[in-house]
Every structure is written in structure tokens, then in C-alpha cells.
Homo-oligomer: A and B are copies of this chain.
Amino acid sequence: MITFKSNFSNWIEDESSDSDVIVSSRVKIARNLTNFTFPHWATEAQLSEVRGFILKAITGECDFNDLILIFSEELAPQKKDILVEKHLISPTFNVKKKGLAVILSEKNTDLCIMINEEDHLCIQAFSSGLQLQKAWKIADEIDERLSSHLPYAFSAHRGYLTERPTNIGTGMRASVMMHLPALAINDEVELLFSNLSNSNITVRGLFGEGTDVAGNFYQVSNQTTIGKSEDEIIDDLQKVSKNIIERERAARQILAKEEKIKLIDEVSRAWGTLTHAKLISFEEAIDYLSMIRLGIDLNILPNLSCNQVTKLMMLIKPAHLRDSIGKDVDEDSELIARANLIKHKLFELREGVV
């Protein structure tokens, strides 16, 4: 069985100038091969044929020594969950079906290629903060290199053809993970996003479509993939994001000025709860870590960085946590292990805090 480390993605290590508000940027390109059935309708034999075909192109174009190749039939469900938690593959990636694959790069953990998930090919790249162009360049370069080997399903009228009609056109989805605690505290988030509803923008919670907003983290992405070039789509999302960053920063300054003691109280309570809880769910921990992140930015918790919180948020996700314990655990043990981990990590990070 091919193994991989549940280590961090490059983007998490890299602090950008927008990391106070923007956690990460992501670009995802969907491609399909002409003359092959779409994955959802294909037999395992057809999937394996497509996989072989794409892998040949990838190994021809990329340094195979650096790539980690994971076949669906060799991917243990627990390991799959770790990839899902890293947002590298979607929860619908079917490990019970033969013929799918995930390709990761050891050097560049910000890159992930999926074969036969929703589409035949999905190239995904991440960057820290608001760096959509950077992520786009990584994904686009792979796409360019593969396009000479792969007969992409492309219609002059519709653009790239995809499994979902909503991805047709550029086949590109760009998204930005934002942390908007001050706008949430001031009850401005809903109004903000409803004002943006004409801006070709879609907003989701931390865990993708249909999920609740946890810890005031929002995933903002382009709604349509057709009618504009990739550069235009990215440029639009970049502009909207910059605007939201400014609003969030302004709201934080107002909070820090007008509600200072209330804010210090909430940040300090979050710290007190996170360092004293003996059982804690992921959702509850995220809500408190959201306050810790805000406290770091507003210098209530000095000597800590937002990225350290982002890392901790990754480590305490259920599959990551179970992987670190190294055995199957019941629900209580998971809650206990999470509380322990958070307490120790926060104490490790703290130097003269609160």
C-alpha cells in the first residue's frame, strides 16, 4: 500500500500579508477526455482505462520521483478522510470504486491532481492568504503541459465540458477561505454577502457546500464558470476579496476601539476554555479558535501567529486527530484527545500570554 504523511501543506507554512483575514486561496480546474464516458457513468474497466491514459501523460510531463500516486482501491477510508480534511479531495471521492486516483507532490503539497472523481481530471492548487494568481499559475501550468497529451472534451460554443453543468466553460473554480469574526460580531456578514449576490459570488461554510458556518470562516468562490476568461474570473474574485478584507479590518478596528474590554474578555475566555476543557468537539473548538485568531490579529495575544491557529485547526480535525492517536477511538476518546492536544499546543505556543 502506498503511504503518505499527514504533514502540513506548504501554504499553511507560508504567512502572507492578508493572513489576518484570508486563510487560503484555491483554484480548481476540471477537465474531461473526449470519447470517454464521464466518471459517474463509467464502469470500473472504463475508469481504469482513463486513469492509465492520464497517468501516462502525467508521468511523461512530471518528475515521477516527486509524485505520490494513490489509487482509490489502495486508499484506506481513514486516509481518505485526511485528504478530505485537507480539502485535497472531496468527500464524494469513492474509495469503494476501482479506477480513481489522487496524485500529490512531495515537494509541492499545494498541488493535488484527482483522476475520475467528478471529472476525468481535476487539477487543484492552493496558496496562503489572497494569492489566487499564484494558485492559478500552478494549476494552469499543469493543465497546459497535459493538454498536449490529452484530448480534452471541448466545445467551441460551450468551452470545456464537465460533469456538472455549473462548471462548463472555463471549468475553473477559484475560492478564498476568509475569517470574518468582526463582521460576524457586528452582524454585517449577511448584509455584506447579500449585497454581493449580483457579483457572481457564492458563499459557503468552512466545510463546503451545505455546511454551517463554523468559527466565522467563509468560503467565497465564483458562481459561474462561463462567459468570462479565467483571468477575469480571478480578477473579479480578487477585487471582491480585497473589498471584504478592508471591511473586516475596519470592523476589527472599530471593535478594538469601542468594545475593547468586551473583546479582551471574549478572547481570554476562549483561551481559558480551550486550555481547561477535558472534552471538546471540533465545531466548538473552531468557534473558540476563531476568537483566538481575532485576538492574535488585534494583539490581545501577542507572540502568536494566525498560521499557528490555522495549523492547529487542521490537526484537531477528526481524521487528523485519529491518525495522530494511531488507533480506532470511540467518540469520547476523540473529544478527550482533542482537548488534550489543544491545551498542550496552546501552552507550547504561549509565551507570556493573557
Contact = CB atoms under 8 A, between A and B. Distances in A.
A353 to B, nearest CB: 11
A271 interface: yes
A279 interface: yes
Nearest to A262: B279
A325 to B, nearest CB: 16
26 contacts: A261-B278, A261-B279, A261-B332, A261-B336, A262-B279, A264-B278, A265-B277, A265-B278, A265-B279, A265-B339, A268-B276, A268-B277, A268-B278, A269-B273, A269-B276, A269-B277, A269-B278, A271-B276, A272-B272, A272-B273, A272-B275, A272-B276, A272-B277, A273-B273, A273-B276, A276-B354
Nearest to A339: B265
Contacts of A275: 272
Nearest to A264: B278
Interface size class of A (residues with CB under 8 A): 10 to 19
Interface in A88-109: none
A12 to B, nearest CB: 27
Interface string A254-288: 00000001101100110111011111000000000
**Identical copies in the complex:** 2
A262 B280 CA distance: 10
A29 B186 CA distance: 54
Nearest to A300: B278
A339 B268 CA distance: 12
Nearest to A272: B276
Interface in A23-82: none
A352 to B, nearest CB: 15
Interface string A296-337: 000000000000000000000000000000000000100010
Contacts of A339: 265
A265 B268 CA distance: 18
Q: Which are the 9 A-B pairs with shortest beta-carbon distances?
A: A272-B276, A272-B272, A265-B278, A265-B279, A268-B276, A264-B278, A272-B273, A269-B276, A269-B277
Contacts of A261: 278-279, 332, 336
Contacts of A271: 276
A332 B261 CA distance: 9
Interface in A2-24: none
Interface string A330-349: 00100010010000000000
Contacts of A273: 269, 272-273, 276
Interface in A233-268: 261-262, 264-265, 268
A335 to B, nearest CB: 8
A261 B332 CA distance: 9
Contacts of A332: 261
Contacts of A276: 268-269, 271-273, 354
A160 to B, nearest CB: 51
